[in-house]
Chains A and B, each alone.
Chain A
C-alpha cells in the first residue's frame, strides 16, 4: 500500500534537486521558506549535491567472479531450439513452398486448354507469340542554310527627273538594214572554183537586194 504523498513535498524535492537557494526565484524562495528554513534548505541541497559526487565504489572480490562464472558453466540452460522452430528452417520452408507454387501456377498462366473432339484428348497450346511493334518517332530538325541575297547595283534616278522613253523602230527582217552590200562580191575570183561555182550566178545570189 503506497503512502499518500504531499504535493508540497514533491515540489520541494524538485527544487532541492535542481537549484541552490541563491538560484531560487523570489516566489520559489518564499514558497520554500514556508516549509523550511534557509539553513535547512542549504544543508539538504548539499546532501544531494555532494552525495551525487561520491563515486567511491568498492571492488568486488575475484572469488565472487569465479563463483558466478562457475555457476554459469554448470547451469548453461540455453534452450535447444528444435529445428522446425528455428528461423533458418522457417526460411528454407518458405522458399520451398514458394518454389512449388511457382512451379504449379506459372506453366498454366499462359496456356489455353483446348479440348479436343474426344473427351480423352486435351491439347495444350501456348499463346505466347512475338509481336512487332513499330513506332513512328517524329522530331523537328532545324537546318540552317545561308541565303545569298542579290542586290541590284543600278542607280536609281531621282524621282523628280523624268526619263524620256526611247522609241525603238521595228525593223523589217526581210529588208536589209542598209542599202550597201555587206561584202563586196564584185571582185570575187572564181577562177580557182569548180564549174559548178562558175555556172552559178553568184553575183546574183550575193548581190544586195534592192528594197
Chain B
C-alpha cells in the first residue's frame, strides 16, 4: 500500500489480486448471496481504496482497513434501506432454498445468515469466515471487544435456533421460508 501511495500502480494490482475475492465473499455473505449487489459493492470498495489511498496509515495492516471500508459501505446501505437490526423482516421476505443440505451445517449456516441482524452477521462473518481476531473485528466495527463477543454469542444462538427449526420442519418448502436476498 505504501508503494501504491507513491504512485506504483502495480502495487495496487497486487493488492487487488490478493483481496478482491475476499471482499467479494464478504459482501456475498452480508447480502445473502446477492451476486450483483456484491459485485457492485466490491467495485465501489476498491474505487474508495484508490480515492482514499493517501488517508491510509502505512503503519497499520491493509486488510482491516479494507474491511472497515467495506463494512461502512454495507452499514450505510442497510441503514438506507431500513434493514438494520430487523431480523423478522428477512424471514418473511426471503424464499426458501431447496438445495439446503440438512446434514451439512456448513451449508445450513451459509444459507441462513439472513436470520442475523446486520451487526451480528458482520461480526460472525469477519470472525469465523475471515478469521480476524476479536480486537480486529472490534476496530472494524468501531465497538468494544465485549460487544463483539456478545454479538458472536447471539449470532451462534440465532443460527443454532434456525438450524433446529429447519431440522424440525424437514425440507418441506411449504412450511419454511428462508433463502437468499436481503
**Do these two chains interact?**
yes
Binding site for B on A (CB under 8 A): 2-3, 5-6, 9-10, 12-14, 16-17, 40, 43-44, 46-48, 50-54, 56-61, 64-65, 67-69, 71-72, 75-79
Given known contacts A44-B156, A72-B12, A51 and B106 CB-to-CB distance under 8 angstroms: yes
Q: Is the CB of B24 within 8 A of A10?
A: no
Q: Is the CB of B153 within 8 A of A43?
A: no
Q: How far is the CA of A15 from the CA of B165 in the complex (A)?
A: 24
Q: Is the CB of B147 within 8 A of A3?
A: yes
Q: Is the CB of B20 within 8 A of A51?
A: no
Is B43 an interface residue, CB under 8 A from the partner? Answer: yes
Q: Is the CB of A53 within 8 A of B39?
A: no
Q: Mark B7-33, 1 if CB is under 8 A from A, else 0.
A: 101001100100011101100100000
Q: Is the CB of B50 within 8 A of A72?
A: yes
Main secondary structure of the interface of B (DSSP, over half): helix
Q: Is the CB of B47 within 8 A of A46?
A: no
Task: Name A51's contact: one of B6, B7, B105 (CB within 8 Å).
Answer: B105
Given known contacts A3-B150, A60-B39, A50 and B106 CB-to-CB distance under 8 angstroms: yes
Question: What B residues does A51 contact at CB under 8 A?
Answer: 105-106, 109-110, 128-129
Is B159 an interface residue, CB under 8 A from the partner? Answer: yes
**Interface size of B in residues (CB-CB distance below 8 Å):** 44
Task: Name A58's contact: one of B7, B21, B47 (CB within 8 Å).
Answer: B21
Binding site for A on B (CB under 8 A): 6-7, 9, 12-13, 16, 20-22, 24-25, 28, 35, 39, 42-43, 46-47, 50-51, 54, 104-106, 109-110, 128-129, 131, 143-144, 146-147, 149-150, 152-154, 156-157, 159-160, 163-164
Smallest CB-CB A-B distances: 6 pairs: A5-B150, A78-B7, A9-B153, A57-B25, A10-B149, A13-B153
Task: Name B43's contact: one of A16, A47, A68 (CB within 8 Å).
Answer: A68
Q: How far is the CA of A68 from the CA of B152 in the complex (A)?
A: 34
Question: What B residues does A75 contact at CB under 8 A?
Answer: 50-51
